[in-house]
Structure 1
Amino acid sequence: MAVASTEYICLEPTLYTDRHAPLVEACRRGERKAQYELYRLYSKAMYNVCVRILNHPAEAEDVLQEAFLDVFQKIGDFRQTSTFGAWLKQIVVNRAINQLRQRRVQWVGVEEAENVGESDDSGLNDADITLEVTQVRRAMETLP
């Protein structure tokens, strides 16, 4: 009768070798050209992430700019336990989700609430509303 051996593998934290590590290091030293280069390399993809979450191009641009400001201010916190791109994307996604949370809720007075269902001048149809709800749910699923 053969005895199965149990072998345990100890996982150590992994430091990723990032192809943009020299640019990240230059950003840590405050070099503007390196910041511009990282922005140039990642902005289009990160903008697309923002648009997918927010479904609003102008809002996506604002969130993207704020996310890159965060990244360049907190670049010293990047510990290379993931690639720079993954770290950046997490910041962008979090910023976009926070923006979704901050969207204004339109308050309706008691008198107006009685007439809410009578006319639909919102310009949104059921498909638009369903799409937006689906996008919000997907964004919320990415929350920790």
Structure 2
Amino acid sequence: MSQAPRWVRERVVAVARPPRPGPLPVVSVLVGEAPHLVWDAFTHHDGFAVTRLPWPAGSLWTDMPVHQFLQPGSSVVGPAVVPWWCAHYPRGAEPTPAPARFAPARRPWLPVTGAFLGLLAHGVVRRRRLTSPR
């Protein structure tokens, strides 16, 4: 962050602080995960909405079901929205004095390792579910 232009540092300094210990980070993760689970219900062939509602499993103008359009469509829209938000958020935030340099993270490898292990576990579980006999 210390390499970012001053006008960006002044606007994201409040957001860049590490979270305080307590229940708020856990609650934030759970609340943030809820829309993902709801979206999965509409975009996966075995999702709750796809198996119970007629339109996600129905077809549009081809033989492909609606849920198969929604899955790659959200994969295109999401990565386009995130950079747009990152570019526009700092412009609307109030500037606050930014420190000359942020303190380096004590364990910068920890979040990356955690994310990697989570993705690895997800892949293993998904592969077992797809290859196991039913």
Query: TM-score w.r.t. structure 2 length?
Result: 0.27
Query: TM-score w.r.t. structure 1 length?
Result: 0.26
Larger radius of gyration: 1
